[in-house]
Amino acid sequence: MTMKFPSFKIGGIHPPQEKTTPADKIIHVELPRRVSLLLKQHGGAEAAPIVAKGDHVDRWQKVAEATGFISAPVHTPISGIVKEIAPVTTLQGRQATAITVEASDADHLADEASRLEQRQPYDYSRLAPADIVGTVADAGIVGLGGATFPTAVKLSPPPNTKAELLIIDACECEPRLTCDDVLMRAYPEQIVEGIEIMMRAAGVDNAIIGIENNKPEAYAALKHACDDFNMRKAAEIRNKANTESNHLARITITRLQARYPQGCEKQLIYALTGCEVPSGALPISVGAIVQNVGTAYAVYRAVAMREPLTERVVTIAGAGNYMAPIGMRVSDLPAGEGAICAEKADVISGGPMMGLSCATLDAPVTKGLSGICVVEPLCYDPEPCIRCGKCAYACPMGLEPYLISTYGRLGYAPEAKEHGAMDCIECGSCSYTCPSHRPVLDFIRLAKADIRKKKI
CA quadruple 209, 215, 217, 218: dihedral positive or negative? negative
Any bridge partners for residue 84, and if so which? 100
Rounded Cα gap, residues 392 and 5, in angstroms: 24
Nearer to ligand SF4, 386 or 456 (CB): 386
Contacts of 405 (CB under 8 A, 6+ apart): 391, 430, 438, 440, 441, 443, 444, 447
| 255 lines the binding site for ligand SF4 (CB under 6 A) | no
Any bridge partners for residue 169, and if so which? 210, 292
Q: b/e for 62-75, b at 16 or more Cβ within 10 A?
A: bbbebbeeebbbbb
- State the nearest-atom distance from the C-beta of 44 to ligand SF4, in Å: 23
Q: Which of residues 75-94 bind ligand SF4 (CB under 6 A)?
A: none
| 277 lines the binding site for ligand SF4 (CB under 6 A) | no
| 275 lines the binding site for ligand SF4 (CB under 6 A) | no
Q: What is the 3 state secondary structure string of 368-418? A: CCCEEEECCCCCCCCCCCCCCCHHHHHCCCCCCHHHHHHHHHHCCHHHHHH
Angle between helices 216-240 and 188-202 (to 10 degrees): 50
| 132 lines the binding site for ligand SF4 (CB under 6 A) | no
Candidate segments 37-45, 115-123, 278-286, 439-447, binder of ligand SF4 by CB under 6 A? 439-447
| 434 lines the binding site for ligand SF4 (CB under 6 A) | yes
Nearer to ligand SF4, 14 or 119 (CB): 14
Candidate segments 23-31, 226-234, 242-250, 436-444, binder of ligand SF4 by CB under 6 A? 436-444
Q: Which of 296, 340, 344 has its CA nearest to residue 317?
A: 340
> Which 8-state DSSP code applies to residue 8?
-
CA quadruple 392, 396, 398, 402: dihedral positive or negative? negative
Nearer to ligand SF4, 74 or 399 (CB): 399
| 389 lines the binding site for ligand SF4 (CB under 6 A) | yes
Q: What angle do CA 192, 197, 203 make, to 5 degrees?
A: 120
Rounded Cα gap, residues 39 and 64, in angstroms: 7
| 430 lines the binding site for ligand SF4 (CB under 6 A) | yes
Strands 206-212 and 250-256: parallel
Cβ of 12: how many Cβ atoms within 10 Å?
21
18, 65, 426, 442: which one binds ligand SF4 (CB under 6 A): 426
| 453 lines the binding site for ligand SF4 (CB under 6 A) | no
| 361 lines the binding site for ligand SF4 (CB under 6 A) | no
| 444 lines the binding site for ligand SF4 (CB under 6 A) | yes
Contact 365, 327 (CB under 8 A): yes
- State the nearest-atom distance from the C-beta of 257 to ligand SF4, in Å: 18
- State the nearest-atom distance from the C-beta of 144 to ligand SF4, in Å: 22
Nearer to ligand SF4, 76 or 433 (CB): 433
| 372 lines the binding site for ligand SF4 (CB under 6 A) | no
Rounded Cα gap, residues 290 and 209, in angstroms: 10
| 385 lines the binding site for ligand SF4 (CB under 6 A) | yes
Nearer to ligand SF4, 71 or 267 (CB): 267
User: Residue 172, SS3?
Assistant: coil
Contacts of 10 (CB under 8 A, 6+ apart): 395, 396, 398
Nearer to ligand SF4, 228 or 400 (CB): 400
395, 416, 447, 451: which one binds ligand SF4 (CB under 6 A): 395
Is omega for the bond preceding 261 within 30 degrees of 0, making it cis? yes
- State the nearest-atom distance from the C-beta of 393 to ligand SF4, in Å: 8
Candidate segments 123-131, 157-165, 268-276, 435-443, binder of ligand SF4 by CB under 6 A? 435-443
Binding residues with ligand SF4: total (CB under 6 A): 29
Nearer to ligand SF4, 159 or 280 (CB): 280
14, 387, 453, 455: which one binds ligand SF4 (CB under 6 A): 387
Contact 131, 172 (CB under 8 A): no
Rounded Cα gap, residues 93 and 83, in angstroms: 22
386, 410, 449, 456: which one binds ligand SF4 (CB under 6 A): 386
- State the nearest-atom distance from the C-beta of 24 to ligand SF4, in Å: 32
Candidate segments 62-70, 286-294, 338-346, 380-388, binder of ligand SF4 by CB under 6 A? 380-388
Contact 164, 287 (CB under 8 A): yes
| 228 lines the binding site for ligand SF4 (CB under 6 A) | no
User: x/- string (CB under 6 A) for ligand SF4, residues 13-52?
Assistant: ----------------------------------------
Binding residues (CB under 6 A) for ligand SF4: these are 385-391, 394-397, 399, 401-402, 424-430, 433-436, 438, 440-441, 444
